[in-house]
Amino acid sequence: MTVPWNLAAGVGLLLVLAIAALTIAGVRQRRAIATASLRAAAQLAVVALALRGVFSTPPTAIVVLAVMFGVATWTAARRVREHAGALASVAIAILAGASITITIVVGLPTLTRDLRTLIAVSGIVLGGAMTAATLTGRRLTAALRDHRDEVEAWLALGATPREAVRPLTRLAIHEALVPALDQTRTVGLVTLPGAFAGALIGGAAVAEAARFQVVVLIGLLCTEAITAVVLAHRLGAPERLPTSL
């Protein structure tokens, strides 16, 4: 696959500027930025080649969806590994949020019922579910550390672990949904999201691109809300509290 010189130059310049900004600020994420960028380029190149085969052999889409789900679950579970049963809880939460949205969007169908829509929507929705699971788990872990004394006080008064932690799970869910809510509230005013821009670049009519983006945004809200609620419930009755930093 030949990479146009202007694409390589533009991406390289953006990467250099990102690393330069972190260097000036003294933030030790320069290697992470470079590694993530290189991985993204390599993975997307592989996916682009793989999807050619998927579209010509529809049954292989099951493998693609399984890989998407597995990577999303593993990535989010790593961020909440302090909780007992983190991997199973994250898997259940992501599956609950993503499957409902994908079924409604593609199975109903809210959009067209074809393989391309299934793959595209699944990738977006699973990504949103992964983000919601990560944010919910991290917010809950931080809240349990910060409010450990309050939780222990409730437990000493006879509250169950779930009752003692319930206010913190609500806070974690609320905070996890802030990015998705802000993106939805400001769409068209601050940003033109990727689905809309991609549809336009691909030659779709403006109205069709807007329709697709609205479905994606509301689908993400549904996915992330369900994922966050399910995960907070699964982690919201801890057998032991996270240790202090």
List C-alpha distances in Å: 10 to 7, 13, 197.
5, 5, 19
Predicted local confidence at residue 197, as pLDDT: 63
- Which amino acid is residue 45, in one-letter code? A
3-state secondary structure of 187: strand
**How many beta carbons lie within 10 A of that of residue 213, not counting itself?**
21
pLDDT recorded at residue 208: 76
The mean pLDDT values, 10 residues at a time, for the chain of 245 residues are 73 89 87 87 79 79 93 94 91 97 91 87 94 96 91 92 94 94 79 63 70 87 96 90 65
CA distance 164 to 143: 12
β partners of residue 191: 187
Amino acid residing at 176: A
3-state secondary structure of 64: helix
Q: How far is CA 203 from CA 2, 7, 105, 118, 154, in A?
A: 23, 20, 22, 19, 58
Torsion over CA of 29, 32, 36 and 38, rounded to 10 degrees? Answer: 110
Quickly tell me which residue has 């788990």 as its tokens: 137
DSSP state of 3: P
pLDDT for residue 3: 60
Of the candidates 168, 169, 185, the one whose C-alpha atom is nearest the C-alpha of residue 220 is 185
Give which of 220, 194, 228 is closest to 209, Cα–Cα.
194
Helix (H) or strand (E) holding 144: helix 115-146
